[in-house]
Amino acid sequence: MAVVVLDVEVQDVKKLPPPGDYAVAMCFLPQDEAAGHRRTVVQAQGHETAAGTREVAALGELAARYVERLLATSGPRVVVIDDLQWLDPSSVGLVDLIVDRTPDYPLVVLATSRPGSLPAWATRGSAERVRLGGLDEPETARLATIVARAAVDADGARSIHERTGGNPLFVGETVRAFLEDGTLQWRDGLVAMTGTGTRRVPITLRAVLGARIDALPASAREVLGVASIIGITFRPTVVEELLDTPLQADAFEQLAASALVLPHDGGRWRFAHALIHDAAYAGLLASRRRDLHARLADRLELRPQQSSLSLIAAHRVAAGDAARAIPLLRDAAESALGLGAVT
């Protein structure tokens, strides 16, 4: 039978509890076999030399016989494993054992996992991988309407889709957060974006996104944090300048494998969606953020033809440098008025 692995970004699921203990497993074996295994385990425990190895081997054999007996007596089975990325080392052997039995028994293993590294068996020819992308904009609008219990206007739906990447969990939690902080309000019979809310990462998603970022190697976390200072889209060369250290050749490919960033046009990269950007930004110490904003503003001022006054001013403000930010803001406002901008 096939082994199926679904790649999903975020799932609101619980870890599958471990099957019954070995005493329960023995109940499925004929009495003579169970007794023999008990003796084997006792004998293994009685030896100080290599006792741990013998016990593990005995228990592994017992688990294998348990699975085989269960399949032989109970018929076809579907084993569902949610959140495979959280599989603990003590459970790896049992999962591998079950997967190894799929060619010989009426057994299907259905596993879900976030993007990233997967067990070796997920690459076998008998394994089918189905990648689940985000909802498109109309689907996001429908889900947002269901959560808000009212139709969301087109601009609001577009903003929610851009911010969440169509991830259903992110859409639902973002809509709830926007309703609570006033970013979404009733207007002309619709729920519309007001622009008055904080638009922070919903508290219900902070742990989810923080865990994904914390699972990265330290160097990858640093790259992601520096990139968040630049914005939703960024160039690797700018990240490297702010890091003061050479980037690994595959630094962004590694982040892309974890579905945190995506290739963009013109050799640039972009965060998969705004919530990941905001979570990476929030993960930086305030002092580190101010320093990086100041350094980025210095860099932009050296290339004024490539940067707007408002962008430089925004980084000066974020750096806490009011003395240099205020003149830039004044100049940016005068420039905007000269172009006919009215706010």
- Categorize the per-residue pLDDT at 163 as very low, low, confident or very high, splitting at 50, 70 and 90: confident
Lowest mean pLDDT among 75-89, 186-200, 208-222, 308-322: 186-200
Work out the average pLDDT over 271-276.
Answer: 88
Q: Across residues 197-214, what is the average pLDDT?
A: 78
CA angle 201-10-259, nearest 5°?
A: 85
Per-chain mean pLDDT for the chain: 79
Q: Rounded mean pLDDT of 110-125?
A: 83
Express each pLDDT in 91-110 by its tens digit: 888 888 888 888 888 888 99
Angle at which helix 286-301 crosses helix 309-318, to 10 degrees, equals: 150
- The mean pLDDT of 307-334, rounded to a whole number, is 87
Amino acid at 45: Q
Tell me the Cα Rg of the chain. Answer: 27
Kindly indicate the confidence band of residue 60, based on its pLDDT and cuts at 50, 70 and 90: confident
- Highest mean pLDDT of the ranges 4-18, 42-56, 123-137, 230-244: 230-244
Residue in the block written with tokens 């293993």: 109
Q: Write down the pLDDT at residue 21.
A: 38
pLDDT number for residue 12: 31
Q: Extract the tokens encoding 274.
A: 């705004």
Q: Give the pLDDT confidence score for residue 52 in this predicted structure.
A: 57
